């Protein structure tokens, strides 16, 4: 499947379309990765756009954070968390730890971290992370129970 990312210029600034929030956002390196990954999850892995959230408010203690992409099942349970970084950021333990912190609230079974060049996928079970060789399809994980 081929997809295209919609962009436009306003006052000499490039904007990119977010199909989840249904609006154009200033195109930053991280936003470019986020929007391309949304398209990948939707077109290649079958995740419905209607069951995704971007920049989801995630409160950890009294701190307000925003998760890049959260995917839900049809019952509204979060099943996949994606932390996006720009291509210049190395995917290291700090990036994974950031995603794990968000997941301490969301409690998804899958965590993905990506910088557009590299994507790492983990299955979370009993607070243990197991590295997976591939990103699961929506149909493979949509019915998972705790």
Structural domain contains residue 45: yes
Residue 76 belongs to a domain: yes
Q: Quote the pTM value.
A: 0.89
Percent with pLDDT over 90 in the chain: 76
Answer whether residue 4 is part of any domain: no
Q: Is residue 5 part of a domain?
A: no
Write the pLDDT tens digit of every residue in 25-81. Answer: 999 999 999 999 999 999 999 999 999 999 766 666 666 677 899 999 999 999 999
- For residue 37, what is the domain's CATH number? 3.90.1570.30
Q: Using the predicted structure, report yes or no on whether residue 127 has a pLDDT greater than 60.
A: yes
Q: How many domains does the chain have?
A: 1
CA distance 106 to 95: 17
pLDDT tens figures, 83-107 = 999 999 999 999 999 899 889 888 9
Q: What is the 3-state secondary structure (H, E, C) of 63-125?
A: EEEEEEEEEECCCCCEEEEEEECCCCCCCCHHHHHHHHHHHHHHCCCEEEEECCCCEEEEEEE
Q: In terms of pLDDT, which residue wins out, 115 or 58?
A: 115
Q: Quick check: is 22 in a domain?
A: no
Runs of H (alpha helix) within the chain: 29-43, 93-106, 138-141
Residue 75 covered by a domain: yes
Whether the pLDDT of residue 133 is over 80: the answer is: yes
> For residue 9, is it within any domain?
no
Q: Is the pLDDT of residue 111 over 60?
A: yes
Residue closest to 120 by CA, chosen among 79, 73, 83, 71: 83
Higher model confidence: residue 143 or residue 25?
A: 25
Residue 136 lies in a domain: yes
Question: In terms of residue numbers, what domain contains 87?
Answer: 28-141
Res. 1: pLDDT tops 70: no
What percent of the chain has a predicted confidence (pLDDT) above 70?
Answer: 90
Mean pLDDT across the chain, nearest whole number?
A: 89
């Amino acid at each position: 499947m081929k997809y295209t990312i919609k962009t436009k210029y306003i006052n000499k600034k490039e904007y990119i379309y977010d199909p989840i929030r249904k609006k154009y956002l200033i195109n930053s390196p991280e936003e470019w990765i986020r929007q391309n990954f949304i398209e990948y999850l939707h077109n290649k892995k079958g995740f419905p756009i209607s069951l995704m959230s971007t920049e989801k408010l995630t409160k950890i203690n009294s701190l307000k954070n925003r998760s890049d992409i959260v995917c839900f099942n049809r019952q509204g349970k979060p099943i996949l968390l994606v932390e996006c970084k720009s291509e210049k950021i190395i995917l290291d333990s700090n990036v994974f730890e950031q995603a794990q912190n968000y997941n301490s609230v969301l409690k998804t079974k899958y965590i993905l971290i990506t910088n557009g060049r590299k994507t790492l996928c983990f299955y979370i079970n009993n607070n243990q992370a197991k590295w997976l060789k591939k990103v699961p399809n929506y149909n493979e994980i949509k019915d998972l129970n705790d």
